[in-house]
Structure 1
Amino acid sequence: MMLEYIQAENLKCKKTFLKKLILFAPMVTFLIAYISGTWFQINAFNSWYMMILPGYIALMAVMTNEKEQKKLRYRAVFGLPISLKKIWISKVLVNGIYMTLSCIVLSVGIILAGYKFSVTVPFSRALIAAVLIAVTSLWQIPLCMFLAKKLGMLGTVLINVCGSFILSALAAITSLWWICPYSWTARIMCPVLGDLPNGNLAKIGDPLLNPIVITIGIIMSAIIFALLVIVSANWFSKQEVN
């Protein structure tokens, strides 16, 4: 059963830094937002989905790969009479669960910060934003896991962080935002949070506040996530021990 594979992958992460990242990544985001001062809530969300989260996903992928690669070069996996596709999918899902938990931690922290800083993001919108960020970022997990196995840490982190930071800022505010997956989260955050990818508040009537992009972003994210999981799982199932 798939649940057994997921439980096994989760057990592998017990007492590892990978699990500590669930709390550590949001804490780094809070620190960056705190330095910014007044606009803590908005800046926390912006820093999270444009820079910290892509780096976090890349690091998770690298650590997931290194757990198998460094010790036995995947011999403990490839040599067993088990489904390699399910192994890969379970790794993706476990990373997805960790990432979602981090988004929830971030949202709770941002909501609580409203008691100290100016409330720029209402309670309900903070929760919705956390869920949407997680959903529209899931596709990065199978991509980064593939990159981690092919390129290692440096290549994976550079591609995912730079891709998000540069492309989300450039493409999200254009009419062609839907072409670039890295811009999807930034674009749908405009109507949810009421601000632009650069952190400035959007003016009333700004076309970027059109909520239709939320539905489009969710659908496209689900499609590309499913495609990347299927393609990468098929690729992984054909791997052999070097």
Structure 2
Amino acid sequence: MLAIIKSEFQKSRGSTVNQFVIMTPVAVLVLSYFLGGGQNGAYNWWYVMFLPGLVAILSSMVINRDKTLGYKGLFLFPNDKALFWLGKILYLSILMLVSSLIFMFGIVIMGYLDAPVISFQANMAGGIILVLTSLFQLPVCMFLADRFNLFAATLFNVLMVMISVVAFQTSSLLQFSPYGVGIALMCPVLHILPNGIPIPEGSPLLSNNGLIMPMLGCLVLFLTLIGLTALLFRGREGK
């Protein structure tokens, strides 16, 4: 497994994959700073648009570089092909974590350049929660990129997040979508609504009593989707 992950890092040397990992959080921070969004605006843009877009694009790029070759390089090895799929997911998880850490560090710097509204503890908690609740998107986007293309994966992922934003605190069943978990948890952690507006003091949305179970649910979904998509990828060899 380590060899597979190491191989993915070697493939990415000098590629646009690493550039996306670094430049996406930097772009969010720069845009928010110069447009006056501050820390709240940066976080809002990050988890509503840029993070789901980054997940989809990275997943598609990692899949496409083997897909264009018909996975011939992978299928030459006797190992279970599902392991290659798992290795790519773990590799992408590392990239997402690195990009999130860059964003979190930038939020700290922004606090020194502008009026700080998000504490260091809230920043760390928010960043970690977003990573944990977004992991399930990796196998989804990889599957869509494998079966379709980058456009389909990106459109689906970003659209699902935006639908969850619209459905937040409504009677629609879509408010229970896993795509809305991270968004909802930012309310008690960062004290901001999905539209970036600060939550008034005393609002029930500020209660942080239910943080653990939604995160665990997303992690269980992540593991389930890994298993399902890995089995589908394994069967792809025989086609």
Question: What is the TM-score of this pair, normalised by structure 1?
Answer: 0.93
Match of 2:21 in 1: 22
Post-superposition, which runs of at least 4 consecutive aligned residues in structure 1 deviate over 3 A?
174-178
Match of 1:123 in 2: 120
State the superposition RMSD in angstroms.
1.6
Match of 1:45 in 2: 43
Quote the offset at 1:216 in angstroms.
2.2
Quote the Cα distance in structure 1 between the aligned partners of 2:57 and 2:116: 32
Structure 1 residue 170 corresponds to structure 2 residue 169: no
Structure 1 residue 5 corresponds to structure 2 residue 4: yes
Measured against aligned partners, the alpha-carbon deviations of 1:150-201 in whole angstroms (never above 9, x if no partner) come to 120111111111111222x123334767620110010000000011001111
Aligned residue for 2:98, secondary structure, equals helix
Quote the offset at 1:16 in angstroms.
1.1
Please tell me whether the aligned partners of residues 29 and 44 of structure 1 are also in contact (alpha carbons under 8 angstroms).
Answer: yes
Quote the Cα distance in structure 2 between the aligned partners of 1:131 and 1:159: 23
Match of 1:225 in 2: 222
Match of 2:151 in 1: 154
Quote the Cα distance in structure 2 between the aligned partners of 1:162 and 1:8: 32
Query: Which one of 200, 204, 208 corresponds to residue 203 of structure 1?
Result: 200
Measured against aligned partners, the alpha-carbon deviations of 1:92-115 in whole angstroms (never above 9, x if no partner) come to 010010001111100000111111
Larger deviation: 226-235 or 174-183? 174-183
Quote the Cα distance in structure 1 between the aligned partners of 2:162 and 2:29: 18
Q: How does 1:172-187 map to 2 (within 5 A)?
A: 172-174=168-170, 179-187=176-184
1:216–1:171: structure 2 CA closer, same or farther, 3 Å change rule? farther
Quote the Cα distance in structure 1 between the aligned partners of 2:108 and 2:179: 26
Aligned residue for 1:238, secondary structure, equals helix
Larger deviation: 116-125 or 207-216? 207-216
Structure 1 residue 138 corresponds to structure 2 residue 135: yes
Aligned residue for 1:115, secondary structure, equals helix
Gaps of 5+ in 1: none
Quote the offset at 1:210 in angstroms.
1.6
Larger deviation: 26-35 or 151-160? 26-35
Quote the Cα distance in structure 2 between the aligned partners of 1:172 and 1:216: 18
Aligned residue for 1:53, secondary structure, equals helix
Structure 1 residue 75 corresponds to structure 2 residue 72: yes
Query: Which one of 85, 88, 96 corresponds to residue 88 of structure 1?
Result: 85
Measured against aligned partners, the alpha-carbon deviations of 1:21-80 in whole angstroms (never above 9, x if no partner) come to 11111012113312431x41011111001100111111011101111022x211111222
Quote the Cα distance in structure 2 between the aligned partners of 1:164 and 1:113: 25
Q: Percent same amino acid at aligned positions?
A: 30
Please tell me whether the aligned partners of residues 68 and 74 of structure 1 are also in contact (alpha carbons under 8 angstroms).
Answer: yes
Quote the offset at 1:205 in angstroms.
1.9
Structure 1 residue 62 corresponds to structure 2 residue 57: no
Quote the offset at 1:17 in angstroms.
0.8
Quote the offset at 1:203 in angstroms.
1.1
Quote the Cα distance in structure 1 between the aligned partners of 2:166 and 2:136: 20
